[in-house]
Amino acid sequence: MNPLGEASFRQLCAQIPKVLRRIISMSLRIDRSAVLLLLACPVVTGAAAGVLLAATARAMRPILGGGTVADRLHQALPALLAVGVAAGLTRVAGALATYAERRITPRLTTETDTALVEAVCRVEASAYAVDGFADRQEAAEMGVIRTHVMVTDAQRFLSALVRMVTAAGALSVLNPLMLPLLLLAVLPAGVGAVLTARVDYEIHYANIADRNVRGMMRWWSTTPKYGDEVRANSMTDYLLFWYRSLSDRCDQRTLAAAPRTLRIALGSSLAASVFLVATWGALAWLAMSGRIALALAATAVVAVQTTLAALSQVIINGAALFHTSLYLTDMQAFLDDAGERAPKRGTLSVAAPVEEIRLEEVVYRYPGKDKPAIDGVSLTLRRGEILAIVGVNGSGKSTLTRLITGIYLADKGRVGWNGMDLAETDPATVWKQTGLVPQIFAQWPLRVRENVTLGQPYAHDDGPVWDAVDAVGMRQAVEDLPAGLDTLLAREVFGGAELSGGQWQRLACSRALYRCPPLLILDEPTSQMDPRGEHQIFERIKAIAANRITIVVTHRLENTKIADHIVVMEQGRITEQGRYDDLVHANGTFAELLELSQDR
C-alpha cells in the first residue's frame, strides 16, 4: 500500500519540520560540534544578508545622489566595505557548513547502513519467510541512500530560509506590497516541486518489487560463482532478456508518469511567471510614480533578487527534504518492524554440557503455507548419541534441525534443552552450544583462517585451526595455497584464490569442528566430497561423538550405519525409527530407499 495515497498535501508539507528535527537528532549522535557549527552557519549567513541589504541601501543614496563620481564613491566607501565584508562572511559560512557536513555525512551513512544490516541479521529467521519482508527491506535501503545528501539538503534549506526571512523582512520595510507579490511568484514553484516529489515517490514505490528482483538477478547473473552454469546451459540470453524486461517495466512506469510531471512543471511555471511579472511591474510603478525613492527602489531590486534566490533554494531543498522524509519513514518503519521481529524469548540460559534435547509433539508451519512442515514430532536426543535423519526431499529434515537448534520456534509443542524450553531461553546462549554445517553453506570471501574460525573467538594460535583443517583432510590443499592460512578465498579479489566445491565443503565441516560444539549438526555434510573425504569426516564424527549430541541429515543411507538412532521423516512426521539393521529389515521406506540407491 502506498502511504501517499492517504496523506493530504498539508500533512506532507508538515513533514519538513519533523524531518529536520530527525536529521538534526541523528546527526547530533554522530558529531555534536559539527552540528552546532552547521546550525551556526545559517545564522551568520542571515545576519550577513541583513547587513548586505542595509549597506546596499546606504551606499545607493550617495551613489545615486549629486557630486563627482569620486566624491560619491568616497561617501559610499564605508557602506561598500560593509557589503564586501558581508559577502565574504557568507562565503566563509558556506565553506564552514560544507566542512561540517563532510564531517557528519560519511559517519551518518555508515551508522544508518550498519543499523539496517544489523536489524536484518538480528530478526527471527522466520521473518525472512514473511510476505513483503524483502520488499520492505529494499524500500528501507533508499533511506540509507538518502543519508548521502540529506545533511546538505537540510543545511541548504535552513540557510536559504534564514536568508529569505532576512531579505523578505528588508523588502517589507521598503514597501509592504512587495513581499506578498514575491511570495505569490514563488509559491507555484513550491507546490510544483512537492507535487513532483510525490510523483517520483509513487514511481519509486510502484517499482520496489521489480527493483528488488532485478537486484537479485543482477547478482546471480554476474557473480563468477554461477558463471559456469550460466554459460554452459546457454542461460545468458534468457537472463539478459529477463533483466531487461524488469528494467523496461520500471521504465514504463516512470515514462507513464512523465506527462503528469510535465503538466505540473508547466502549470507552476506559468503561474510563477504571471506573479513575477506583476512583482517587477509593481516595483517599476512604485519608482515611476515617486512612491518610492530611486535609491530604495535599487535596494529593492537587490532584495527581490536575494529573496527570489533564497525562496527558490527553500523550495528546491524543501522538496528534497520532503522526499527524504518519505524514504526515512520507510526506513524507520522497517527498522521498527525488524525490532519487533527480533527474538524476545526470555532470559533462561543454556550452558554446556547439553545432556538432553527433548522434542514434544512439535508442530511448525512456514508463513503462508497450508500444511505444516513439521507435524507432531516427538524425539529425545542424549549426549554421546548420534542421530541420523533421513527421508525424501521436502519431508522436513532441515526444518527439524532448525527447530532443534531454536532457529525457528515451534508453533505448537515444546523443544527443551536440559529441560529448558527454547521459547523462554536466550537464543545466543543456545547458539553458543551449536555447530551447524548446513546443506547450502556460505563460501565466505575471507582468508582461510577466518573461514575456519568465523563465529568463534580466535586465540591467536593457529594450532587449533590446523587441527580443524587436518580433521577434514585439507592440510595439503591449504599449504599449497599462495599464502597458506592467510590466503584470501575470493577469486574476484586481487591475490585471492578459489577452492573446489568439495574443498569448500570440507572447510565448512572444519568450521563446525573448530567450535567443538555440544550439539553438532551436519546436513548433507559430504554431498560434494570424494569417498576418501567422506570416510574421513564420518570417522571424525564417530571419534568425537562421546562428548556431544550429533545429528546427521543424509540421503546416503550407508552413512547412517554410524548412528545410534535413525528417524525416517515423511510429510513432516516420523514414520519409522530404529537402528540401521532393524530398519533394513523392516520393509518400510528406509528399506525401499536403500534398495533404490543400490539398484544400478
Instruction: Say how far apart CA 357 and CA 400 lie, in whole Å.
Output: 13
Please name the residues in contact with 418: beta carbons below 8 A apart, sequence gap of 6 or more.
350, 354, 355, 356
Of 78-86, 180-188, 246-254, 388-396, the segment contacting ligand ATP by CB under 6 A is 388-396
Scanning residues 317 to 376, which ones bind ligand ATP (CB under 6 A)? 366, 369, 373
Among 394, 482, 495, 501, binds ligand ATP (CB under 6 A): 394
| Region from 340-348, 389-397, 531-539, 558-566 binding ligand ATP, contact rule CB under 6 A | 389-397
* Residue 312 burial by Cβ neighbours in a 10 Å radius (0-12, 13-18, 19+): middle
Let me know: does 55 contact 86? Beta carbons within 8 Å: yes
Chain centroid to CA 419: 38
How far is residue 297's CA from residue 414's CA, in Å, rounded to a whole number? 84
Given 143, 192, 396, 533, the residue binding ligand ATP (CB under 6 A): 396
Strand pairing partners for 389?
553, 567
Site membership for ligand ATP, residue 397 (CB under 6 A): yes
Output 371 or 532, the one with its CB closest to ligand ATP: 371
CB of 371 to ligand ATP, least distance (A): 8
Q: Could you tell me whether strands 356-364 and 549-553 are parallel, antiparallel, or unpaired per DSSP bridges?
A: unpaired
The nearest distance, CB 434 to ligand ATP, in angstroms, is 17
Helix (H) or strand (E) holding 357: strand 356-364
Which CB atom, from 251 or from 558, has the smaller least distance to ligand ATP? 558
Scanning 144-152, 387-395, 464-472, 489-497 for contacts with ligand ATP by CB under 6 A, the matching segment is 387-395
**What is d(CA 94, CA 84) in angstroms, rounded to the nearest whole number?**
15
Pick the closer one to ligand ATP by CB: 369 or 585: 369
DSSP bridge partners of 570: 573
| Residue 432 backbone class (left: φ over 0; alpha: ψ -120 to 50; beta: rest) | alpha
- Which residue, 8 or 393, has its beta carbon nearer to ligand ATP? 393
Cβ contact 526:472 at 8 Å: no
Among 129, 216, 256, 274, binds ligand ATP (CB under 6 A): 129
Contact 115, 335 (CB under 8 A): yes
In the range 398-437, which residues lie near ligand ATP by CB under 6 A?
A: 398-399
Alpha-carbon gap, residue 432 to 419, rounded angstroms: 17
CB of 216 to ligand ATP, least distance (A): 16
Nearer to ligand ATP, 398 or 487 (CB): 398
395 belongs to the binding site for ligand ATP (CB under 6 A): yes
Q: Output the smallest distance, CB 417 to ligand ATP, in A.
A: 21
473: alpha, beta or left, given left = phi > 0 and alpha = psi -120 to 50? left
Residue from 62, 391, 517, 525 binding ligand ATP (CB under 6 A) = 391
**CA end-to-end span of the chain, whole Å?**
55
Mask 238-277, x = binds ligand ATP (CB under 6 A)?
----------------------------------------
Nearest approach, Cβ of residue 367 and ligand ATP (Å): 7
C-alpha dihedral over 86, 87, 92, 95, to 10 degrees?
Answer: 140
Q: Cell numbers for 148, please give them.
A: 548521502
Q: Near ligand ATP by CB under 6 A, which window of 179-187, 329-337, 386-394, 469-477?
A: 386-394
Is residue 398 within 8 Å of residue 523, measured between CB atoms?
Answer: yes
Stretch 60-89: interaction string toward ligand ATP, x if CB under 6 A: ------------------------------
Would you call 351 helix, strand, or coil by DSSP? coil
Q: Which is nearer to ligand ATP, 19 or 400 (CB)?
A: 400
Instruction: Single out the segment in contact with ligand ATP by CB under 6 A; choices: 12-20, 23-31, 395-403, 448-456.
Output: 395-403
Do 446 and 488 meet the contact criterion of CB atoms below 8 Å apart?
yes
DSSP annotation of 76 reads H
Percent composition of the chain: helix, strand, coil (DSSP 3-state, to 5): 70, 10, 20
**Residue 398 vs 433, nearer CB to ligand ATP:** 398
Q: Is 121 helix (H, G, I), strand (E, B) or coil?
A: helix
Q: Is 291 one of the binding residues for ligand ATP (CB under 6 A)?
A: no
Least distance in Å: CB of 373 to ligand ATP?
Answer: 4
Least distance CB 395 / ligand ATP (angstroms): 4
Binding footprint of ligand ATP, residue count (CB under 6 A): 13
233 versus 393: smaller Cβ distance to ligand ATP = 393
Catalog residues that contact ligand ATP under the rule CB under 6 A.
129, 366, 369, 373, 391, 393-399, 439
